[in-house]
Structure 1
Amino acid sequence: MKIINIEYPLYYDSLDKENGNMDIFVKLDNGMTYTMVVTTPSNYYWYMDKEGLDYIPASPPDIIVRSLNKEIVEKAIQTYVQDNAYWLKLYFLAGESNCVFDQKQMDGMIQEMKKLKEEIFGSE
Structure 2
Amino acid sequence: MVIDDSNTIRRSAEIFLRQSGCTVFLAEDGFDALSKITSHLPDVIFVDIMMPRLDGYQTCTLIKRNPRFNTTPVIMLSSKDGLFDRARGRMAGSDQYLTKPFNQSELLDAVRLYARPSGNAGSTEQPT
TM-score, length-normalised on structure 2?
Answer: 0.31
Higher relative contact order (CA 8 A, sep 6+): 2
The higher radius of gyration belongs to: 1
